[in-house]
Structure 1
C-alpha cells in the first residue's frame, strides 16, 4: 500500500499527481499538492525595478500575490496572452504566488517507473529544478520541482526554506 504524500514534504514525489501545462511547444508538470487554484490571466500591477519575469502583483481576495511569467523566466520568446493563458496559483512554503503559463491540460497520475531522471545537459532550464521526465506513451512531461524553483535565490520570492 502506497503512503500518502504529505503536503509539507520537500522532495516527496509519491503523490504522483501532476498538473500538466504548456509553455511554448513543451509540456510541463508540477505537483498537484502545490496548486491552490487556476485562474484566467488578468492584468497585473507592475512593481518598479522587479526582474522582467515578475509581471507584477494581483489582489487575490485580500492577499497580494506576485505573478511570474514562466515563458519569460525560461526565455521561451515573447509572451502572448490569449483566451488559453492561465495563472496557476501556488501555495509554497506558506506563501501564495502565481505563475503564468500558455495553457493547462489536465491532472496526470504517474507511476514511479514512468518518471525518468532528467538528463544532465546544458539547457535553458537549470536541471536542479527538475524532478525528471514523465512518460505517458508518446507524451512526455518535464516535471518541475516548483517549490525549489520558486524558492531559489534567482527568483527571490521566498526566504530560503529551513532545512
Structure 2
C-alpha cells in the first residue's frame, strides 16, 4: 500500500530491547556503533552506564533496558550503541540490536494507550501498526531531556 503524496511520512530507526521493538526519528541518529564498556561515573543514575570517548567527545551512555525497567541486558556481539544528536549534545543509547530504517505514514500511527509505567506517555509519539509487527515510536528528545535523566539542565529541541 502506497502512501498518498499529501500524507506526512517519517523515517524511524527500528531497534530491539528484549522482545519489543522501538523506533526513533532517523534524523536524530548520528551513527550506530558496537558496544564498548563505558567508564562509570560516580553518583550517576543506574541507567546511565557511564561515558565513552567518541573521537575526542565525551558521550554519556544510557542503557534503555534499565531506563524502561526491563531485565538487565547481557552485553554481547549484537549489542549496539545508537549515537543521537539532541540539541547541541551527543548521547548514546544501548540497544539489543537495530533492524532497519522504516518509513511510516501518519495513518499507520496509533495513539499510545494510557498505561501506568515508569515512563510517562509524553515520551511516546505513537505505536506504528505495520504489516507484520508493531513499533513503539519514542519521542527521544523528551525522553533524553527529562529532569530524571540529569543530562540537560535546559529544555532541548
User: What TM-score, normalized by structure 2, do the two folds share?
Assistant: 0.92
Structure 1 stretches of at least 4 aligned residues deviating more than 4 Å after TM superposition: none
Structure 2 residue 60 is matched with structure 1 residue 66? yes
2:31 corresponding residue in structure 1: 37
Q: CA RMSD in A?
A: 1.6
Where do residues 17-32 of structure 1 align in structure 2 (5 Å cutoff)?
Answer: 17-32=11-26
Question: Number of residues paired by the alignment?
Answer: 153
Between 120-129 and 152-161, report the one with greater CA deviation. Answer: 120-129
Q: Is the 8 A contact 1:152 1:160 kept in 2?
A: no
1:159 is displaced (CA, Å) by 2.4
Q: Which consecutive unaligned segments of at least 5 residues does structure 2 have?
A: none
User: What TM-score, normalized by structure 1, do the two folds share?
Assistant: 0.89
1:146 is displaced (CA, Å) by 0.1
Q: Is the partner of 1:72 in helix, strand or coil?
A: helix
Q: 1:162 to 1:90 in 2, by over 3 A?
A: closer
Distance 2:119 2:97 in 1: 19
1:126 is displaced (CA, Å) by 1.9
Distance 1:139 1:71 in 2: 20
Q: Which consecutive unaligned segments of at least 5 residues does structure 1 have?
A: 4-13
